[in-house]
Each structure stands twice: as structure tokens, then as C-alpha cells.
Amino acid sequence: MHQQHLRIWLLAILSIFYLTPVRAALPEIQLQIGMRLVQAEVANTSEARMKGLMGRKQLDDNQGMLFVFERPEIQSMWMRNTPLPLAVAFIDERGVILNISEMVPFDDTPHSSVGIAKYALEMNGGWFSQHGVKAGDKVKRLPK
């Protein structure tokens, strides 16, 4: 009987270990928007861009995710499986913010750039407006 309990206990521990999703660490970068510094995880692979902030329950105030796209074009984002309210800034190759959209948790409605974007920066909902960041502002320190 003791061995059976031990086996069940080990199986339970192993299943927790193997079934618990592990978020692979993404590279991080510090961006500058005006006088604000933003710490952003960099989603620069198709897998990282597809996963984005899905399942994430919180972001610190000046924390976000920078999506780096393979080629500049009209970009779209949505909130599938994302419980946080987020705002997204679409950014061109020169670092100029094209437009900012507020997004609702778990909503599949696409939010698109108004022009050719190379980047998208997701932050907590309302972050851009709370910090006076608007279309036309420049984001510095973007990866090439």
C-alpha cells in the first residue's frame, strides 16, 4: 500500500511539473518615449508574436511587450485569451507612433495600424493617454 501511495504522489508531482505552462523568457529592451522609460519584452519570432500577452494577468506600470514584425506592413492585433485591458501603439520603421488603440480583454476584434508599421507596443490599458503619449510621438531605442 505504501508503494502505491508513493507512486500516486510521484505521478501527481510529475503531472504538475509537465502540465504547468512555462513562459520562455523573452529578451527585454528599455525603450524611451519622451521622458518615459519603458521596459518591454521583445516578441520577435512568429511564435512569440502569436502568444503575445495571452494569459498574462498583470503588467507593471512601465512594463509592456514590443512586437517586432518581419516586414513593415499594415499590422493588426487582437485580445484572444488575454485577460488584461491593453493599449497598443503601432510604430513605423523610424520609431514614430502611427496610432494607438485601446483593447478589451478576450475580444477578437482586430485593431490595425493606420499605416505601414514595423512595431507594435502593448502596454496596460490607458497607459499612453495617462502619460500624454499620442500619435506622432517618437519611440527611441527600438531594435533594428
8 lies in some domain: no
Type of residue found at 117: A
User: Domain containing 63 — which CATH number?
Assistant: 2.60.120.1140
Residue 130 is classified by DSSP as H
Question: CA angle 126-59-23, nearest 5°?
Answer: 140
**Structural domain contains residue 9:** no
- Stated pTM of the model: 0.83
Between residues 88 and 6, the one the model is more confident about: 88
Phi then psi dihedrals of residue 25, to 5 deg: -65, 125
- Give a yes or no: residue 13 inside a domain: no
Cβ atoms of 143 and 44 closer than 8 Å: yes
Q: pLDDT value at position 4?
A: 59
In a domain, 54, yes or no: yes
Range of the domain at 102: 25-140
Residue 17, domain member (yes or no):
no
Percent of the chain with pLDDT over 90: 82
Residue 11 lies in a domain: no
Domain assignment present for residue 10? The answer is no
> What is the number of domains present in the chain?
1
- Identify whether 75 is part of a domain: yes
Whether residue 15 is predicted with pLDDT greater than 70 in this model: the reply is no
Q: Assess whether pLDDT exceeds 80 at residue 3.
A: no
